[in-house]
Each structure stands twice: as C-alpha cells, then as structure tokens.
Structure 1
Amino acid sequence: MKLKVTQEIAADAIMNTDAHVLITSRTASGKTEAAFLPALSLLSKKPSKSIGILYISPLKDLINDQNKRLSSLLKYGNIPVFSWNGDVSGSQKQKVLEINQGILQMTPESLEAMLMVNPQNAVRLFSDTQFIIIDEIHSFLGSDRGGELFNLMVRLERLCGRQYRRIALSATLASARSVLWYLSSQTNRKAILCKPRDEEKDVEIYLQTYTIPHEEEVKQKVKQEWQTFLYDQLRDQKAIIFCNSREETESTANALKKIARKCKDPDRFLVHHGSVSAQIRERAETKMKSDEKIVICATVTLELGIDVGDLDLVVELGAPWKVSSLLQRLGRSGRVSKVSKMLMIILEKESISNLPQFLMPWDLLQTISMIELYHRRRFLEDEKFLKKPYSLLAHQTLSVLKTYHQLQPNSLAAFVLTLPAFVNRFSADEYRVLLKSMLENRFLEQDDQGNLFIGLNSEREVNQWRFYAVFQSDSEWKVYHRGSSVGSITIYPTVGMSLILAGKSWIVDKVNEDRRTLNVVPDQSEEIIVWYGKGGLIDQQVTWMIHQILAEIDHYPYLSKNSNLILNQARDLANESGMIEDPNLLIYGKLVFLNGWFDQKEINSLKRLLNVHLKKALEIRQVFTNRFIVGITGEIEPMDLLRSILDCLNNPLQSDMFLHCHRQLRIQPYDHFVPDNLLSIAYMEDHVKLDQIHNFLKIIFCQK
C-alpha cells in the first residue's frame, strides 16, 4: 500500500522522534491512518500493559464512525477498539477493564467523568498508555471545552505518574503556534508540526442570491422559486445541505420532501443535527456511505470528519459564519473526483428602509468576503481562549477535589494553577479570592486540618452527570414515538403542539414534566419547532474584506447573474453614500452612522454601553446595529451625541456600564461559583472592546 504524503511525513515524525506531533492536512488526506499506523507500529515493538492509545474526539458520532473504521482496519491485527461514553453499557465497560488493551475512544466529558467518579479505573486503563490522539483539534480551540481537554491530559498524566505522547489532527488551522504550546505544556517533550504541501483540489463554487420581499404572497412565490431551484440542482446528486440552524435544517428537508411527493419522486431527503436521536443520525450516515443518491440536511454535526463517502455536491444555505467552517464543508465533496463542488444559496431579506446601511446585501457580502479571504490569502480564523476563564477555573477546582477528595489550599493552588488552561492567566492572589468566596458560600468546606473538600452547596451539582461538561447546553425535552427516540427539542412543549423533527411532522400527544419527555404521533402540519442558536462573532478580517470588495471593481466568476447584479448595486450605493470612505460619519437628520468598519465585538460593546449607561443621559432613542454597522438616533444633535460618547470613553469603564444587573455577569455555565468582583474583571477583559471606536471618535474630533 502506497502511503499518502501526509502519512509519510507523519510516520517519520512519530517513529523517528519522541516529540508530540500536530498533523494538519486537508480533508480526506489520510490523517487518521497517519496518526494510528505509526503509533501502532511502535506499540507492536513495545506492547503496552494497558490501553495503548487513548483517542479523544469532539463528537460521539465521530467516535462511532471511527470505531467502525479502525475495527475494520485492525481486525487482522488482533487489536481491540473500544468506546467509553454514556451510551456504552456497564457490561461493555467492564469488558474494557478486563481486556485492558488496544485503543479506547472517548470524548473529553467521558474522561472528565472517569477522573471524577472512578479515578482508579483511569489508573488501571492508562497506567502504561503510550499515545493520546486528539481528533479535529481545531473544534476545541477558543472554548472552555478546549481548555478542559488540555487540562484533562495533564491531570491524567499526574494521576497515572507518566507522560504520554500527544498527537493532534486538524484539517483547518489558522496558526499552529498555540496548539504546539498546549501539546507540549507540562511535559518534557517538544511538539512538532507535520504540514505537507497538499495537492490542491479543483474547486467549483456557484453562488445564487434571492431577495425575500415583505409582501406575503410574493414572499411565498420567491420561497417556492429557490426551493425548486435547489431541488433541481440535487437531481442525481449525493449531497449534504449545510444549514445555519436546526430549524432551517428541518424546514428545508420538509420543503424538499413536499416537492418530491408532488413530482412523484422517491423521498431521499434525511436530516442530521444534534436534536435528532443518535440512531436516526447513524442510519443517515450509513445510507450516505451506500451507492444511493441520498441528500442530508445538516448542521455542524456533519462538518467534522464523519465518513459519508464520496459526495457529488455540498450546498451551503445561508451565509457561513467562519472561513474555517466554509473550508471544512467544501472539503466534504470531491474525494474521488478531486473536484470540490459547492452550491451556495443566499437569502437576502428586503429592507423596509431606504438608507444605504439597511439596503446593503450583508449576507452576500459576508459570503463573498469569506471566499475571497481564503482564495487570496489562505486566511483562517485564529481561535482565542478567554483571558479570564473563571467558570472553568471553578469547575476544575471542584473536579480536582472530587478526584482527590481533599487537598490543602497550597497543594490545590499548585495543582490547579499549573494546568495548561490557567498558566499565565490567574495569579495566586486571584485564586485565593475565588477560594475564599467559595468557602464563604459553602461551595467548598474546610476541615480542622485545613483540608479543602467539596461543600454542601455544590455537592449535588458536582455529582450530576451534567457537571462533566463545561459548555452551555440547552434544556432539552426528549421526544419519543411508540417507544423509539425521535430526538429532542428545547422549547416548552404542550399537548396538541405541532412540530417537525427528524424530517417528519408530529403532534404532541403526551408530556411528562418530571422526566422531561413527550410522546408524539404523526401529523401533516407544517409548523416548525424553533431552536435558539448562536452564530458567533464575525472575524475583523471579514469586515475589512467587505470594505475592499465594495471599493474594487473585480468580477467574481462564481457569482450567478443575479448575485453579480446585487453586488454591483451595492457597490454603486456604497460609493454614492460615502460608505467606503474611512473613517467618516454618515448623518441623516438626527440619525448618525459611525462608518469605521469596526470589529463586531466593538459594535456589540458600544451597543450595550449606549443602551445601558448612556441612553437616558444622552436622550438616545434607538441604536441600530448588525454584524457590520452601528447607527444612533436621539433627541440631541449627532455631533454633540458623539462628543459625549467620546468623553465617556476617555474615562475608565466598569462592567456595570454594560449590564442591567449583576446577574448578567453570569455568562458561562459555572459562573455562579465565582464572586461578582472577579466576574466583573473577566467581563471587561473578555467581552468589552472599544479601542477602534475610541480611536475613530478621536480622529473625528481631532484628538490625540
């Protein structure tokens, strides 16, 4: 078998050095084999007396997929492959403990649970482990979950008294530097990068735009038009349609099913998202690997490395939120043909205002910006962790105490503050303030010898399975039909309510509030259930590229005739209104727009400052913002208004100027363990940014 370039370079790094290894290469370049084959070769020469390789994945679905793939690959080598998570039975886990060999696959939450509840199992299973392999490491970056993962690797090593070689895999990574630091953190090994010069696949993108009017009759006509266009493009195609929300996923699948029934075509449309049951998702994945021309409507659940075979086409419905996400999705197609094909459909809502800021096709501009950023610069977002992750600090403090039962304050501080997520982020004094507050609130308690242990007011929460996760999760209701799981919803259900889930229409028959479950029966309603998702922040580079796109006259060959027409109209409007001049103000009576092409975080910060702190004093009527613009209207003259804002920014800012009450400081899942004074510091560090707007106003008023 001839190795791919990625596999050759990785094999050399893994087998001929003792370093940690980061493998970055495009989708379908053989990264899984690049990590496992050399690691297993080394294990064959020096067999482990316990689990040989711990594999950590962001998704249970990806674990299930890789389990089948690795089991098939290793079936003749007598190397067992096991999974360990909440869906695995107790008898199967006991079997893993008895055999204690081969590869064990886990999510960070499963490893957290083991360290907290059964640390003796961790010692038994990983006492002679040689490698930790982290798949899709980019999906952990910039989040508390990533911080938890890097902490867990160090905690496991300290518990077992040994160091493991760490191998991380990623298809999309902006900067390797921070990942290499985390891979080598608290070890005596360096981390090296394996990044082959990938053979570029040809890319074919076609971007179609529809303007959605307000008038209901015309709106339905346009809706039917774009759905029919999409249906026609999917004929004889195996494809994934990526949507930006679960609601959109369900409604799109339902619309395509209706067209299929009308055309008397077979129903080949499936759904795949986090609220659909694991069994239904797995059936969809299995069908995609067959020769059938299946179409799956999905969210990010199929963005990562789950094997869905060779796709003819990927569809992006709506503007992507990240360049890295766009690249991940594009890479899902063309594995055999070496041509990645993507159809992008943008739905621009018609504006009710004639002001240029509201007439701009922002979703179209955002999409073109992301395509051009990667095409011109190979740009990818650099995910940054919180500067003051107090929620994670409190969580890990309680988790460590659960593992070791009790620790002296100095020992606890020495242990926790040297975990990778907290190095150079918290001082001993800051941690002392946190521990003192947790003691005062009985989240921690202290015995006569000075040992700290889990307190009365945190014990119940720490002992719940939800505590193993550090990310926000919606409060969900499990949905069943005739005893089989259909999925889950996040809004409060009532008997008789109609919903669409797993691509089918249902009506709620029974609700069990104690168990948070509901039974449904089939229904023909078209009412859509609503999930409340978050798109995230747009990178500053996307905003600057939009500015550049509006200022230039370049033609983009991937645009449809209508998309090109809309772009040219936007360019004309931007030039005529002065929007592309930087920096400047655009004033319409008492409405003023700050035309500075600011970072989205800056726009959000200014909006909160105006609405909470300055609205009454400056007689502000309304603040208009989206991802790219900020406009203010009030009773006083715009220049007087802006000068007052500048005066405010010239003075120190406090968190209560951005929040209506202290409860709003609690943003992360475990912030309730943290005192308000620390959360205030963290809020200003991580959620407030006004440097660009401050400098913009200084320029306007000629201040130095």
Structure 2
Amino acid sequence: MSVDRLHPGLVHHIANTLGWSDLRPLQKEAIGPILDGEDTILLAPTAGGKTEASSFPLISAMASQEWNGLSVLYLCPIKALLNNLAPRLEAYAGWMGRTVGLWHGDIGESVKNRMRADPPNILLTTPESLEGLLISTKTETDFFANLRAVVVDEVHAFASDDRGWHLRAVLERLTRLAGRPLQRIGASATVGNPDELLKWLQGAGIGRRPGRVIAPGVLPVGSQIPENPPSGEIELDYVGSVSNAAKVIATLHRGEKRLVFCDSRKLVEQLAGWLREFGVTVFLSHSSLSVGERRRAEQAFAEARDCVIVATSTLELGIDVGDLDRVIQINAPKTVASFLQRLGRTGRRSGSVRNCLFLAIDKRGLLDAAGLLRLWGRHWVEPVAPPPGPNHIVAQQILALCLQEHRVGDRLWPGSWNGLKPFDAESKPILEYLVAEGFIETDGGMLFIGPNAEKRFGSRHFADLTAVFCAPPEFTVLHGREEIGQVDPSILIPEEGRGTTIILLAGRTWYPKHIDWKRRLCYVDPAEGEGSAKWSSAGLPTGKSFALAQSIRAVVLGEDPPVKITSRAEGALADLREKHVDHVDQTSLIIRRSKSELRWWTWAGYRANLTLQASLDGIARADGVSDFSLRLEDSAPNEVLSHALSDAVLVPPTPDVRAVNGLKFNDALPEELARATLAARLSDLPGAHQALRIPRHFASG
C-alpha cells in the first residue's frame, strides 16, 4: 500500500486527528512518485484533495530524511489563497514538529525579519514576493541553501501569462542557489494538455528529471463522445439586464448560499447594488476592494447561510468560502477551464451535485455562454500555452540577477538560468541594449546595476521590478481611516453639467468629499442614490479564441449545448439565429456584400481575424475587425478578393504604439523587440490558417 510509505507519525494524525479512514485516489497515487523525488502534475477538480496530495509526502520526507531549514516552497498566484492554505499546512506540518511561514505584501517587516533569521521549514509565498526575497540586501546568501522542493498551486494560472515565464526563470535561479535540482510539483484543475504542462514546469530539467501526471478518475480531454456530456446540473437562462438577473437571484434558492461570478469589477458592483435593493444579504469580492473589505466579506459569507457573494475570478481559485449551495454565472467566463473551476465550487456535500445557473444579461452574453457550454459538453478544455516572445521578462530577469548577485560575470550570466530558453545566450542583444542605455554598467568583465535602472526601477527597493504585470494607476478610497478599495481616476473628474460623480464601491455609494491628487487618495462619505463604477483594463485585447468562435458558429447554425435551456433562452437564441441567418452556412464561410460594406464572416476569433487583416494589406480594413468577421474593401471585385485570399501569406499584426508603451519593462528593451513581443501576442497564425482553408462563397444583400 502506498500509504505505508508515509511516516508513521503522519499516518497516525491522518487517522486520529483528521479522522480519515482512507486517502483519496489522487492522494494515494501521489505518495510514491513524490517520495521518490519525481516532478509531478497533480490533476483534479476544485476541492479534489490536491493540497494534501502534495504536502503529506513532502512533510513525511522532511521527517524521514531529516530535512532542515527552509526545505519546501509553496507558491500560489494570489495572496488570498496563501492566507487560506496557511492554517491547514501549519496543522499538518505541526504534527511532525515542522514550521510554516507566510510571506507576501501584507505581512509585516518584523515578521519577515524573524523568518530571515530563523527560516520556516515550509514557506508560502507568491513569485513576486519570492523575487523580492532574492534581490533584497537583507536576504542572506544561504537562505535557500536547504531547499529541496517547490509546490506550485494552481499552476495553470501561471502558465498562461507572463507570470509563468517569470516563475520558471526564478525557479532556475533558486536551483543555482540551492546547489541541487529542485523537485517540482504542480497542482492544477483540468487542462487540455497536462503532459505539456508538466514539461513546462520542469523547465531546464526536461529530460534530466523523471516526471509524471497523476490524475486518477480524470477523463482525458475529448475521451467521450458528445452525446455523453460531463455530469452536473447546468442551466442556461436569458434575463436581459443586470436588474433582472438580480431579481432572479433574489427569488430563486432562498435560504441557500449562492456564489455569483461576474467577469468585470463594474458588473460585480452593479449586481450587488441591485441585490441589496431586493433585500438580499450580499457580499462582494474583487481585486479593487481593500484586503480588509474582502476578508470581512469572505468571512461573513462563510459563516452565513441565506446570502449571496458576488465575485470576479478572485474566488475562482481554491479559496474556501464554506459550504456552498449554488454557483451562478452572469453571461459567461472567458474559458472552459474557468467554468470548470467555478463549477467545482459546488457538489462538495454528500448527496449534492455540481451545478451552475447561467444568467445572460444580453444577447452577446447568451451566445458566449451557449458556445462555451457546447465545448464543455464535448469534454474540450483549452490547452495551456505560455504567451510567446517574453523579451521584456528577459530584460527584467537580467536586471534582477544583477541585483541578486550584485556583480555578475559578463560571460557567465546565461548560466544562471541553466540553459532555459529564452534566458540563455541568445538573449545577448537585450543585455547589450541594457548596457548601452545605462541600465547595466560594466567594469573589469563584471555586470552590475546602472544609474538608469536605479532611476527607473529603484524606488521602494526596486519593488516595481518584482511584478511582471502592469496595473493601471488607481486612487485609494478612504472613509475616515478605513480603506474601502481603489477606483479609476477618471471617475473622479467632474462631468460637464453633472458635477461630482457618486462612486459605487463595495456595493455601497459614496460621495467624494476630498481628493488628494498628488497622493492618489479619495476621501468619501456615505451617499444616497445611484452610483457609478469604473476601472481601466490592462493588457492587450484578445477577444474570443478560434475554438470558441467556431463553437458559437455551430450554435448559430442550430446546435444547442447539452444543458437545460429555459424557454426565455430558447426564444433569445432563435432571435439570434434569425439575426445571423445571412452570416453562416453549413459548409462554407460567407463573404457578404451589402450597400454599406463588404464583410467576411470567418467566425475565427479576434486574434485570427486581426492576423488576417494584417496579412491582407490593401484588401482588409483596419476599422472592421471583430471576433466573428472582418471588413474588406468593398471596391474590390470578387475575383480580386478570391485571388488575394487564396494567395495570402500570413504575417503578425503591427501593434499600436500605445500598446508598446503599455508593455511592462518596455523601456528596458529595443523598440523592435518590444514590437515583436506584442505582434506575436496579437496574432493567431494557426487560427488564421484554418480560416483560410475553409471554403467560402460570396453573397449579396
């Protein structure tokens, strides 16, 4: 039995302290590989026991093999998840006389200094805080000397954006500091390509370290026929407005605990305001609320019964919000993977089933939900893919390495990442630019931080260098001494003819009584009446993927997702199909010429259409790109268009100068490399290629 390999003291506490008669299949199957030092991906739905699957074998190894000092890092994408996991891991480690430390931006400096002097055996942190530790002059060189293993929770959340590139680079630098290969364990919900995710996690150790995916009971993606959809009570409804959604939520499932997901902070605030109007006990959670506000809401929600919490993806990950009855989704999440995370919040009680009610507040949201649920019904999940061309992360890492080491050999620096691409010698042009622009100085064959790096990133001990994502500037909102959250500064500028705007934040309305523009502070008092909420989004516009756009096309052609569809949703879908009747065909794509324009209905997704627009120079117009179509020059004859489409050579789009300026660390990059990064991220060459291969025909009217 694999359980027999665990330390007897740990087995005793599992049976007697937890009262568990047995471990789950994932937890049992993980014991042998983790104890044998293998890299692993632990795959299971939300609440599938992944934390114990990783921690039990590692804590057992600590005791059996007498690991000392800081032996295990536990990395999470968000602080709230770390806070949630800390008490559980403290209990498990405490059984064996081991300690756990929590390190992130909300932890006081005195606590951190104690951990620097006496490191815990397990440290829970984020990659950004870990980078801060590496570059800090307060961190002793032997702090990570005893490190043996790294657990990356919600690893899929890292792999799909720049935080993943940063994480992989930091893990290689840690490997050098520890002087040994580090065992890497990733915990993930269902993804479309778990084997590739394992290789991604292994980094420079691919092929040199054993690794495996452990996923008992998890069906391979696409393993079942569409007629046998995944289990769960899923319903799709169309309500037409935010207020109607609130009315449905207030009426349905009274006496139950309901978690409502919205995919924008503004929508969270609006829905919560309407729910309060209907007498519902409601709590909120999103990234622009203060830490105290979110914690109070999440704690109150966990302890209450007849209530609703409205959240963005902040509650999508494995944060415990107590015994949940229902999940409700407003419109649709962006991916099937996100839906699976949210669906996994329900059905945890014995005798209950996983459930989700989709409430579409507009026709576009209904199409999105239907297309996404059709993919889910086919057991399709997005493959996790790192964003291409991370040149800006290479620049950040070179600067961070110079801060960490103080002086780095001008020929030895590529070895700091153990050959991991693109952080190897091929990135030398980026180093040369950093030297030429004064970000890095050279002397006697050594590299060190230069004056421009001090000027650009040196404030607050180079704190800006630790985060690879770019957040728009926001104003902190204060009621007395209590921080409520943050808002976009544009909402504080009085509108002509209307005066000061009443702010909607934390589900309540506030009047801005004083604004400190220099310190970015807004002091407020409670207000009556309707308020406004606004936040700017960071990052590139990505739109719908090729797979989702094609699935929506199938819905428009008459295919329903395998879920319960209300009569209201059926009627709205019928209207949408009638609206798009001239835009779809069963066997080909339509290029429709009307009096006002010529439009190619590709149903290929935003990035694929943007790629097609860039590749059809002189044929496609820049002002007409959407998720489902692109506008063509209506003066071109059909024959010319046909030849242009048949002979098209695909090229990536040209990024806007504003997008280049918005790229984090862009000023530490040659402009051509910054543009190349954004061009690669705006393009979908495979999707554009598939769109060109689908037969097409011209239509008019």
Range of TM-score over shorter length: 0.7 to 0.9
Q: Structure 1, residues 408-446: CA drift from partner, whole Å, max 9, x if none?
A: 322123435x453526xx763xx2322222222212222
Q: Structure 1, residues 31-77: CA drift from partner, whole Å, max 9, x if none?
A: 11111111111111122221232111100011111112223444544
Q: Which amino acid aligns with 2:450?
A: G
Gap change, CA 1:110 and 1:697, over 3 Å in 2: closer
Query: Contact 1:49/1:101 (CA < 8 Å) preserved in 2?
Result: no
Aligned to 1:355: none
Aligned to 2:663: 668
How far is 1:677 from its partner?
2.5
Gap change, CA 1:467 and 1:229, over 3 Å in 2: same
* Residue aligned with 2:128, SS: helix
Aligned to 1:459: 454
Q: Structure 1, residues 385-407: CA drift from partner, whole Å, max 9, x if none?
A: 23321110111110111111222
Output the CA distance in 1 between the equivalents of 2:577 and 2:124: 51
Gap change, CA 1:232 and 1:119, over 3 Å in 2: same
Output the CA distance in 2 between the equivalents of 1:400 and 1:373: 43
Query: Contact 1:166/1:183 (CA < 8 Å) preserved in 2?
Result: yes
Query: Contact 2:44/2:189 (CA < 8 Å) preserved in 1?
Result: yes
Query: Contact 1:582/1:595 (CA < 8 Å) preserved in 2?
Result: no
Output the CA distance in 2 between the equivalents of 1:427 and 1:127: 26
Query: Contact 1:607/1:623 (CA < 8 Å) preserved in 2?
Result: no
* Residue aligned with 1:511, SS: strand
> Which of 433, 436, 441 in structure 2 is aligned with 1:440?
436
Gap change, CA 1:458 and 1:650, over 3 Å in 2: same
Query: Contact 2:611/2:651 (CA < 8 Å) preserved in 1?
Result: no
Query: Contact 1:578/1:586 (CA < 8 Å) preserved in 2?
Result: no
Aligned to 1:144: 162
- TM-score, with length taken from structure 2: 0.86
Output the CA distance in 2 between the equivalents of 1:75 and 1:690: 52
Aligned to 1:251: 270
Output the CA distance in 1 between the equivalents of 2:315 and 2:515: 31
Name structure 1 gaps, 5 residues minimum: 212-221, 261-266, 349-360
Aligned to 2:469: 471
Q: Does 1:346 align with 2:360?
A: yes
* Residue aligned with 2:41, SS: strand
Gap change, CA 1:404 and 1:554, over 3 Å in 2: closer
* Residue aligned with 2:54, SS: helix
Query: Contact 1:147/1:421 (CA < 8 Å) preserved in 2?
Result: no
**Which 4+ runs in 1 deviate beyond 6 A?**
none
Q: Structure 1, residues 462-512: CA drift from partner, whole Å, max 9, x if none?
A: 323122100121212212111111111122435844211112111112222
Gap change, CA 1:629 and 1:237, over 3 Å in 2: farther
Output the CA distance in 1 between the equivalents of 2:664 and 2:54: 34
Aligned to 1:312: 325
Gap change, CA 1:599 and 1:554, over 3 Å in 2: closer
> Which of 27, 43, 58 in structure 1 is aligned with 2:77?
58
* Residue aligned with 1:23, SS: strand
Q: Which amino acid aligns with 1:341?
A: N
Q: Does 1:422 align with 2:422?
A: yes
How far is 1:3 from its partner?
0.7
Residues paired across the two proteins, number:
654
Query: Contact 1:476/1:516 (CA < 8 Å) preserved in 2?
Result: yes
Q: Structure 1, residues 337-378: CA drift from partner, whole Å, max 9, x if none?
A: 441121111122xxxxxxxxxxxx4432221221121222x2
Q: Structure 1, residues 556-613: CA drift from partner, whole Å, max 9, x if none?
A: 4411101112223444555565544413312213522213322321213345678xx7
How far is 1:154 from its partner?
1.2
Gap change, CA 1:576 and 1:208, over 3 Å in 2: same
Gap change, CA 1:540 and 1:153, over 3 Å in 2: same
Output the CA distance in 2 between the equivalents of 1:103 and 1:109: 17
Output the CA distance in 1 between the equivalents of 2:689 and 2:107: 54
Gap change, CA 1:694 and 1:148, over 3 Å in 2: closer
* Residue aligned with 1:435, SS: helix
* Residue aligned with 1:459, SS: helix
Residues 232-243 of structure 1 mapped to structure 2, 5 A cutoff: 232-243=251-262
Q: Does 1:380 align with 2:365?
A: no
Q: Which amino acid aligns with 2:213?
A: L
Aligned to 1:561: 567
Aligned to 1:203: 232
Output the CA distance in 2 between the equivalents of 1:371 and 1:526: 35
Output the CA distance in 2 between the equivalents of 1:573 and 1:497: 38
Moved more, 191-200 or 239-248: 191-200
Identity of aligned residues (%): 25
Query: Contact 1:21/1:168 (CA < 8 Å) preserved in 2?
Result: yes
> Which of 158, 178, 188 in structure 2 is aligned with 1:170?
188
- TM-score, with length taken from structure 1: 0.86
Output the CA distance in 1 between the equivalents of 2:90 and 2:584: 61
Gap change, CA 1:386 and 1:38, over 3 Å in 2: same
Output the CA distance in 2 between the equivalents of 1:227 and 1:18: 51
How far is 1:651 from its partner?
6.2
Moved more, 690-699 or 532-541: 690-699
Query: Contact 1:499/1:525 (CA < 8 Å) preserved in 2?
Result: no
Q: Does 1:524 align with 2:524?
A: no
* Residue aligned with 2:309, SS: strand
> Which of 580, 596, 599 in structure 2 is aligned with 1:593?
599
